[in-house]
Amino acid sequence: QVQLQESGGGLTQAGGSLRLSCAAASRRTFNNYAMAWFRQAPGKEREFVAAIKWSGVSTDYADSVKGRFTISKDNAKNTVYLQMNSLKPEDTALYYCASTSTYYSNSRYLRSTLSYDYWGQGTQVTVSS
């Protein structure tokens, strides 16, 4: 069992920045393949934001955040981060952290919510215009 705890959400104006953190805790050895951030706005489906493989530095981003958001990790701390710059009102959502220990030969699978075993409770990000 893996517990994921997000932090760092809040309220900011358009053009501002926020940094989200997600710390993973496990009673067993943390065998992780990838972690990701998803978001869900009211009345909308949960959507992919960014993913990072736990081994190496491979990352992937949704087109809507590419160039503005950066996902990174600290393997020693079992923590993943999401640096969000140039925020827009349409970035307003509940942001979720997710992890998976399953290997996927095609990295595109990491864009699907179905590929993840564990989820955090979410942290709210609100961007005012």
Please tell me the distance from the alpha carbon of residue 49 to that of residue 40, in angstroms, as a whole number: 10
Q: How much is the pLDDT for 73?
A: 95
Burial (Cβ within 10 Å: 0-12, 13-18, ≥19) of residue 103: exposed
Q: How much is the pLDDT for 7?
A: 95
Q: How much is the pLDDT for 32?
A: 84
Q: How much is the pLDDT for 88?
A: 98
Q: How much is the pLDDT for 129?
A: 93
Residues 6+ apart with CB under 8 A from 8: 18, 19, 20, 21, 123
Burial (Cβ within 10 Å: 0-12, 13-18, ≥19) of residue 79: middle
Q: How much is the pLDDT for 29?
A: 66
Which residues in the chain land under pLDDT 70? 29-30
111 touches 60 (CB < 8 A): yes
Helix (H) or strand (E) run with residue 49 in it = strand 47-53
